[in-house]
Homo-oligomer: A and B are copies of this chain.
Amino acid sequence: MNSKPLLDYIKRYVNLTKEEESLLISKVSYRKYLKNQYIVQQGDICKITGFILSGCTKTFYLDESGQEHIVLFAIEEWWTSDMGSYISQSPADFNVQCIENTELIQFSYDTNEELLLKIPKLERFFRKIVERALVSSQKRIIRNFSLTAKEQYIQFKELYPTIEKRVPQYMVASYLGITKEFLSKIKSQLILEQ
């Protein structure tokens, strides 16, 4: 397992000693998922939060009519899980599925408690991570309300250019909350305009 990306990432928020770093690494696990595999399924108790070493995942909700609504994508150096299910160990509302083969460093709910007690600095680290996730989530709500679908698509490309190139278009449409047909129309409009 290549733990450097995770340790570098943590370093941006808190400074761990060498001992703390190796304790941390001894308590997490590495796992490889194949494209299309599920990390969490709606209804499961989400046992892990994963730090992505490589790959790409989508977190989505299936509604009554079986339609898929993507809440967020995650790529290298992002975190992936059903946060609600993980923190309260209750059945997941969301599915997390790999869009590409994906390598994770997994923090399991059971051992994480122990880790936080031994390295209290990690409380601060996770607080900061979650704060940033909350900010993105609130901004997403606003974009949704105050922009047309076309404007949202333009912003999405600016905010997440790599993701836009890596995931199929119909998933981008689902993330934006529109149909794939309408996104297709928007794209052809944008081509005509320029």
Contact = CB atoms under 8 A, between A and B. Distances in A.
Nearest to A146: B63
A69 interface: yes
A44 to B, nearest CB: 16
Contact of A138 (B63, B64, B84, B123): B84
Interface string A141-152: 110111000000
| A interface majority secondary structure | helix
A180 interface: no
A11 interface: no
Contacts of A138: 71, 83-84, 94, 137
Of A120, A131, A145, A177, most B-chain CB atoms within 10 Å:
A145
